Amino acid sequence: MPVAVITGAGSGIGRVVALALLDAGYAVVLAGRRAERLRETVAAAPAGAPATAVPTDVTSAESVAALFDAVRAEHGRLDLLFNNAGLSLPGTAADLSVEDWRRVVDTNLTGSFLCAREAFRLMRDQRPQGGRIINNGSISATSPRPASVAYTASKHAITGLTKSLSLDGRPYRIACGQIDIGNAATDLTARFAEGVPQANGTVLAEPVFDPVHVAHAVRYMAGLPLDANVQYLTITATTMPFIGRG
């Protein structure tokens, strides 16, 4: 049975992907800050599904190390890490506080690095060797929204992290890819129907799509043999303002 770790698994995309992987026959270790939300994800899984909740602060090296120690102790190996935990706080370079900048970068970038570091070590040292890391880049890894300087910078940096992990993982059969998601319907995008600031100064409602399609995409990426890799995959609501966003 393949083993997966999902960060940000207590809600939204993380929860939907976790349930899809459990349905596909994975043992899934759910990581997130809020233990009660992780328990809700476990409760939504089929009875007896091999889901384990490990409350984790991805900004803490010690907390992340404890997460992967638990994976090693319970399963002895790791086949997939979905680096999904993320935080977005609005603000331009002129008005965002240094504290908020650090909160976003620590969660989105440093948290992804810390989890990738521990996963890489486990995948490198286990037998049979290898595994796969999938980073949630967001379409903000390519195109920013207005007043999103910290989130956009952190997500652009995720692309660099993905590339470096892909290159450094080659000798150890560790593949790394990135999924860039735009407007999946979660609690975080509920406000999009009311209107979202656009690059031209207007406020427009934006379409969303069912996050189950994100889960299908992650399952596809995860299910490839380790000699094949989806380096980048972008999935969005078809008519969202992304291509030619302006």
Task: Please give the positions annotated as active site.
Answer: 151
- Residue 221 CA to residue 166 CA, distance in Å, equals 14
For residue 219, which amino acid is it? R
Residue 230 region by backbone torsions, left for phi larger than 0, else alpha for psi between -120 and 50, else beta? beta
Kind of pairing between the strands at 51-55 and 27-32: parallel
- Beta partners for 136? 179
Locate all alpha helices (DSSP H) within the chain, ordered by sequence: 12-23, 35-44, 61-75, 98-105, 111-125, 149-169, 212-223
State how far the Cα of 93 lies from the Cα of 222, in Å rounded to an integer. Answer: 37
**Which position has the token pair 């989806």?**
230
Whether the CB-CB separation of 54 and 26 falls below 8 Å is answered with no
